[in-house]
Amino acid sequence: MRRQPLLGIVMIIGAVGPAQAQEPDAQAPPVRAVVDQVAGATLYLTVGRDGGILTGDTVWVARDSVGERLGVLVVLRSTATRSVLTFAEEPFAITRGQVLFVTPRGTASAREPGADDPAAGARVEERLRAAPARRPDVGGPVTRGSLSLDVAVRQSSTRFGGGDGQVIDRTFATPSLRLNTTVTQPLDWTLRLRTQVSHRYASTGTQINPTSVRVYEASFEKTLRSVPLRFQLGRFYNRYESYSGYWDGLLIRAGGRKAGFGVLLGLEPERSNQTVSADLPKATAFANFRSDGRRTRYAADVSVHRVDPRNGLLTHTYAGLSQRLRVGRVRVDQELQIDEDPVAGGWEATRFQLNVRGDVDRRVELRAGVSRQRPYRLFDPVSAISHPRDQLNGGLRVRAGRAIVSGDVAVNRDRDREDLGYSYSTYLFVPGSGSLGVTAAASYRTGSEYEAVTLSPGLTGTFGRMRANLSYRFYRSEYGPDRLFTTHTVQAGLDVPAGLGFRYRLRGSGQWGSGLTSGRLHAGLTKSF
């Protein structure tokens, strides 16, 4: 369940009532509304009768005024400036503070008796205005998540020294059990857990700790209602800034959805096995801000960090700034990190990325970007900040009906070798007249010392609720005159829903070429709840 959960997100499972949706009135423009509260399957919006939202209506909702519809809601209560709604068809994710665009159409016969009575409307208005001042009736905690059992098997044969050379056969098998779960008391507290238990078998060599238990997230969040404070304790990823990574520690944040600031104190987990480690204590201070308009949206976070190792490694002090801007059909994303150099002194820009995307119309998207990476090396007392790696890229995506074609070009430069590299890639998806579709991907990379090409055609199919895919991949690379590597790979996959929240997955692949033959099989069963 990226790992980057949004504040207050509530996933609703199960249908809620037989209400039927109507097509929206072609003359009714979409109305902008903000999700003020989420209480179970009940939503509170900041728009009401003044915006054409009437009690008993069924309405379409979308993320923007011309965007794809998310689903259908039915209006339970409506006042002049607010409304209470619930799902009319299949539920979808709703976040407190989310901006929605609602297209109304009235259904007078379905309206609540007395809805047009001014006295009744005044009473509803009074109750809704008082709602934020008291705790809504949200019921008990809501639990959602998934439990998965997976088995992965791989067999490989590697040949050395030509046709009569040595052959090494290996077999690996890894069964694993994964649990992802979130328990939420809406508008109050949230408990998150993501963990995996696995065992690795290998036919050759001695396995060190073949059975492992890895905890990727285990955190408790508490929101105070008397003051705008939020606490998070345990293992988590800080979703309010983009630079500090995972924590075993404590987060304290003051503020609301649009703006806030806070601090984090704790330890960095061991990267190799996700265990708790006291080697890298760290601290962070951050602030974030967002503004949502009808055509303009802006969000930013700024943070300062310090990692103070206890095992003789270099101290790491750095700061980060991220910004995301959307104006009409243009979207801009920017990231910047600066690090203090403990060896040479001063500050250096170690991470910069700027991406711009724009829709020429609903069918054509253009994109361009530039980036620089200079990784910080805690272990290097001579040169803590590595040489820069730069990239400049551009591309476009074109839609023709349901078909999609995209292409990208990138120029890469490694300052260590002063080497320029170029890459070209393209992707094509063409839906068939029935349940089958065709995909194709290709890439070509070249530099002063290497050349590589990849071709991958495939088929996708949907048969009822079952999904299947089949693809072939050709890869060829050349590093100098004596290092030529060629492989062929066939892959197939099947996803089958089985009802009651169960889903089966089956993946298989075979690879051969350049002295290597291997086969992989992955089977999984997931229960969602």
Condensed to tens digits (0 to 9), the pLDDT of residues 113-149 reads: 333 444 444 444 444 444 443 444 445 788 888 999 9
Least confident of 17-21, 26-30, 413-417, 436-440: 17-21
**CA separation for the pair 8, 79 (Å, rounded):** 25
| All residues at 6 or more sequence positions from 286 whose CB lies less than 8 Å from its CB, including other chains | 238, 240, 241, 261, 262, 263, 264, 301, 302, 303, 304
Closest Cα to residue 158, out of 490, 518, 434, 476? 518
Least confident of 107-121, 190-204, 345-359: 107-121
Structure tokens belonging to residue 212: 């492992």
Q: Which long-range contacts (CB under 8 A, 24 or more apart) does 288-291 make?
A: 288/240, 288/241, 288/259, 288/260, 288/261, 289/258, 289/259, 290/257, 290/258, 290/259, 291/258
| All residues at 6 or more sequence positions from 310 whose CB lies less than 8 Å from its CB, including other chains | 278, 279, 280, 281
**pTM of the model as a whole:** 0.68
Which of the pair, 205 or 196, is modelled with greater confidence?
196
- Coil/strand/helix, residue 68: coil
The pLDDT confidence band at residue 112, using thresholds 50, 70 and 90, is: very low
Q: State the pLDDT at residue 65.
A: 56
Average pLDDT, the chain: 82
| All residues at 6 or more sequence positions from 96 whose CB lies less than 8 Å from its CB, including other chains | 7, 8, 10, 35, 36, 37, 38, 187, 257
Which of the pair, 453 or 448, is modelled with greater confidence?
453
Query: Quick check: 1 pLDDT over 80?
Result: no
* Beta strand residue intervals within 360-465, DSSP E: 364-373, 389-400, 403-414, 419-431, 436-446, 451-463
Closest Cα to residue 325, out of 362, 369, 356? 356
- List the end-to-end C-alpha distance of the chain, in Å, as a whole number: 12
Length of the chain: 529
Least confident of 38-47, 181-190, 258-267: 38-47
Which of the pair, 19 or 406, is modelled with greater confidence?
406
Q: Write out pLDDT tens, residues 235-275.
A: 998 889 989 988 999 999 999 888 999 999 999 988 777 88
Asked whether 457 and 471 are in contact (CB, 8 A), the reply is: yes
Closest Cα to residue 169, out of 182, 177, 179, 160? 160
Q: Which long-range contacts (CB under 8 A, 24 or more apart) does 260-264 make?
A: 260/228, 260/287, 260/288, 261/285, 261/286, 261/287, 261/288, 262/230, 262/286, 262/287, 264/238
The pLDDT confidence band at residue 4, using thresholds 50, 70 and 90, is: very low
Query: Quick check: 500 pLDDT over 60?
Result: yes
